[in-house]
Amino acid sequence: MATTSKRNNLTLASVGIDIGKDIFHFVGFDLDGKIVLRRKIKRPALVSEFEKLPPCIVGMEACLSAHFVSRTVRKLGHEPRIIPAIYVKPFLKGQKNDYNDADPQATWAAYRRRRSIFAYHANYLIDHKFGVIVDAEGNRANRVAENQAALNMVERVADRFALKPKRLAADTAYGSAATLKRLVEQGIEPHIPLIDKSQRSDDTFSRSDFTYDQPRDLYLCPSGKELKTTGRVHDGRTRLYRAGKSDCETCALKLRCCPNTPHRRVPRDIDEEVRDKVRALAKTPAFQHSRDERKKVEMAFAHMKRIFKLNRFRLRGLDGARDEILLTATAQNLKKLVKYLSRPPPTLKRA
């Protein structure tokens, strides 16, 4: 849930609010977990301030005024979430502070078949051959932080141990174009499924039905018309290729292409060439083999939760979560070390 306010030009996914006697502190986040709003208001200004904000999730710690604030923001179109104090305290950034109370380092995350919680994510870099964890890092629960953690671990292992993987296998969460480009630049084959939202489900043409002409930097539609771009990059990542309005109005395939718009446009990521290379890799036997080997990674996370009981962090803040993740990874490696180095006791021969 993320919307944009025309008045303030803000894109908000969630707001954390600390409720005081006379003063409220609130901090707003976008979908990437970045702070886009940080404000202090007096109690009478609560309604007027939230009227300016686009509809979003509003999280607050349970207290005497929480239900009043919840009812107030719900009337304004927001989605309030009252969180028990026991789930809030471990995730604060530092000592008692009104902004720290409103801005926890953990991210309010929703998971399938589970209740929404404040969460951190654990990332492991594992050697596939022996299943040894060569690096571990915790981060806030969002994809941007996860992708950066993966790149940090690869670079850290190369600096500390002179280890450089030939290929890196991961799940779709790590399939952003920027991450794939960094891996390719370092000479690492990314065996990672792409994050691809270009396929349409309404029986109209998807982006894959258009042919990209690289020398001329344009797309050709199924009827052979050209879609050109001005070269402008939108949102820092995407170029838009547009067909001519006159071409689309007289096209026999308009109902299958752009029935609700005057002309068709096709988005293309600035690193789409790297994505095309990964698409080609996905058809190779080595890519499928990497997918099968990822079971070792998933097993490590299962052991973390079920054997080492790390369903909930005991230490406070992101640094505490990272320490616990590193200690758990160390314990898992020691367990594997015993397995590989231990020898069965000698058997005595009977006389």
pLDDT in tens, 36-52: 888 888 888 888 888 88
Q: Tell me the domain boundaries of the chain.
A: 3-104, 120-193+282-341, 207-269
DSSP state of 108: E
Looking at domain 120-193+282-341, does it have CATH number 3.30.70? Answer: no
CATH topology of domain 3-104: Nucleotidyltransferase; domain 5 (3.30.420)
- What would the mean pLDDT of 259-264 be, rounded to a whole number? 91
- What would the mean pLDDT of 71-76 be, rounded to a whole number? 90
CB 237 within 8 A of CB 269: yes
Give one DSSP letter per residue of 29-72, joined into a string: E-TTS-EEEEEEEEGGGHHHHHHSSPS-EEEEE-STTHHHHHHH
- What would the mean pLDDT of 269-283 be, rounded to a whole number? 89
User: In the prediction, which pLDDT does 19 show?
Assistant: 85
- What would the mean pLDDT of 48-69 be, rounded to a whole number? 87
CA proximity to 150, closest of 182, 109, 194, 193: 182
CA proximity to 15, closest of 57, 53, 71: 57
3-state secondary structure (DSSP) of residue 28: strand
Distance in angstroms (rounded) separating the CA atoms of residues 145 and 34: 10
Q: pTM of the entire structure?
A: 0.65
CA proximity to 118, closest of 136, 93, 95: 93
Which parts of 63-218 fold into alpha helices (H)? 66-75, 85-88, 98-102, 143-161, 177-185
pLDDT exceeds 90 at position 220: yes
In this predicted model, what pLDDT tens digit does every residue of 129-163 receive, in sequence order? 888 899 999 887 778 888 888 999 999 999 998 88
In percent, the amount of the chain with pLDDT more than 70 equals 85
pLDDT exceeds 90 at position 210: yes
In this predicted model, what pLDDT tens digit does every residue of 302-344 receive, in sequence order? 888 888 888 777 776 777 888 899 999 999 999 888 887 777 7
In percent, the amount of the chain with pLDDT more than 90 equals 21
